[in-house]
Amino acid sequence: MYIKFPILLMLFVLSALFGPTFSQASFCAQKTHVFYGNGMFNNQRDITDSVGRLEDLLRSKGDLSKDEWIFDVSYNHDEKLFSLFQVYRQRQGESVSNYWRWISGLWLAPDWFQDITLDMAARVDQAQAVRDVDLRSHIQRYKSLLMEGSRVLVVGHSQGNLYANSAYTNLAYDENNLPMEAFGIVAVATPSGRVASGGPYFTRDDDLVINTVRLFYPDTLDGNITNSNTNSDWKNHSFIDAYLDGDQSGPMIINTALAVANGLAWPEPQLGSGPISVTMTWGNEPDVDLHVFEPDGSHVYYANKLGTSGYLDYDDVTSRGPEHYYVVNCESLATGTYRVSVSYYRGYSPETAYVQVQAGDVIRNYSTYLPQAEGWAGDTNPEGVADIEVAGDDVMGYTFTVKQL
């Protein structure tokens, strides 16, 4: 008889899009993922223009392979004036976290005291992640990529650097011992007093937004670059006009981002990667399970980890995930529908499941509320989260459609 052991994880399913999503791509290789972390008051067009310009400049300068370098956005939703409160809260969180790190670094402090204070700092950063839906999504994506053997570079702008710092710190203290030498940050116009990775930053001396932040938080990193050309942004803060188009800041950002990315280590894969992968985390209850039904009817879960197309290669039974399913390789990808589901196996209070679906080059996050544990009864009828529909072939290419259930 198969005995299911308890798990302590946080299962993460955010609903980012209500309709279907289409993508055509070829996959199955380790890659360098470059994320643009947007600042506040950015609309979707601003973000699209920014990541597009960043990609164009980096590809042109570095002659980067289309297949081996992937550009994406670590999206921070524009919440209008509430974004100002977010920045305040994030800076306050950073101040508390940095205080505990400073205390731990006192040379007179014994080892046990340093361990306790570093743990306090990590708990502050983890609490930040729980409060912020966007940040949880970023952390889960970065964690999956690192465990799959890919490198991650975040080019953060403005508030995007506060998200990048919090994500880095959460991952650095993750119990899976993630390969942080494969994660880098290049900070642009940062309102923070640090770059969590120890990486470089670029802030204009005349950036009025950051200079204003520094009035309230004197530890904000000083301006370190001056442009001689003019731009259309009177605040001298915008990512493209004030920074990428700057005669000094632009080349320095691009050259440095390439150098940091190329200097990142290639991590040893802990998870498999392929044309489809699904990652699950959850909260403090012992055990929530990931289930995937493949097009031919194969049911992949903890008691049947190997399906016709894919494999459940990570079933965490010790705490804090992830559970992970992936299609083994491009040759085993089947056309039809893959149904992603979850089951609350064991626990004592309501739980929320968080699932991140990658199909082709589409990434979607969903959340599912689970009122009570169902034990083995949930194995035969798990809660549906999303359908991944695959069409096409290996000659003309595959098309992926992701639909929330």
Instruction: Give the pLDDT mean for 366-380.
Output: 93
Evaluate if residue 112 carries a pLDDT over 70: no
Evaluate if residue 1 carries a pLDDT over 90: no
Evaluate if residue 265 carries a pLDDT over 90: yes
Q: What angle do CA 180, 257, 53 make, to 5 degrees?
A: 125
Instruction: Give the pLDDT mean for 268-297.
Output: 91
Which residues, other chains included, contact 302 with Cβ-Cβ below 8 Å and sequence gap of 6+? 2, 4, 289, 312, 315
**What is the structure's pLDDT at 116?**
53
If pLDDT is split at 50, 70 and 90, which confidence band does 43 have? confident
If pLDDT is split at 50, 70 and 90, which confidence band does 17 have? very low
Specify the higher pLDDT residue, 22 or 262.
Answer: 262
**What is the structure's pLDDT at 78?**
52
Query: CATH top-level class for 32-263?
Result: alpha beta
**What is the structure's pLDDT at 121?**
54
Give this prediction's pTM. 0.75
Specify the higher pLDDT residue, 115 or 282.
Answer: 282
If pLDDT is split at 50, 70 and 90, which confidence band does 130 have? very low
Report strand pairing: 310-314 vs 151-157.
Answer: unpaired
**What is the structure's pLDDT at 135?**
84
Convert the pLDDT of each residue in 341-369 to its tens digit. Answer: 999 998 989 998 999 999 988 889 999 99
Rounded to whole angstroms, the Cα distance separating 242 from 235 reads 8
Specify the higher pLDDT residue, 100 or 203.
Answer: 203
Which residues, other chains included, contact 326 with Cβ-Cβ below 8 Å and sequence gap of 6+? 271, 272, 273, 274, 276, 277, 278, 310, 311, 313
Specify the higher pLDDT residue, 180 or 25.
Answer: 180
**Helix (H) and strand (E) counts for the chain?**
7, 16
Contact 298, 101 (CB under 8 A): no
* Range 120-136 burial, b when 16+ CB lie within 10 A, else e: bbbebbbebbeebbbbb
Convert the pLDDT of each residue in 138-155 to its tens digit. Answer: 998 999 999 989 999 999
Rounded to whole angstroms, the Cα distance separating 280 from 261 reads 27
341 alpha carbon, distance to own chain's centre: 21
Domain spans, the chain = 21-27+274-404, 32-263
**What is the structure's pLDDT at 355?**
94
**What is the structure's pLDDT at 196?**
92
**What is the structure's pLDDT at 282?**
87
**What percentage of the chain reaches a pLDDT higher than 70?**
78
Least-confidence region, from 52-61, 197-206, 275-284:
275-284
Convert the pLDDT of each residue in 225-241 to its tens digit. Answer: 999 999 999 999 999 99
Q: Rounded mean pLDDT of the chain?
A: 82
Sign of CA dihedral 402, 32, 129, 202: negative
Rounded to whole angstroms, the Cα distance separating 378 from 344 reads 7
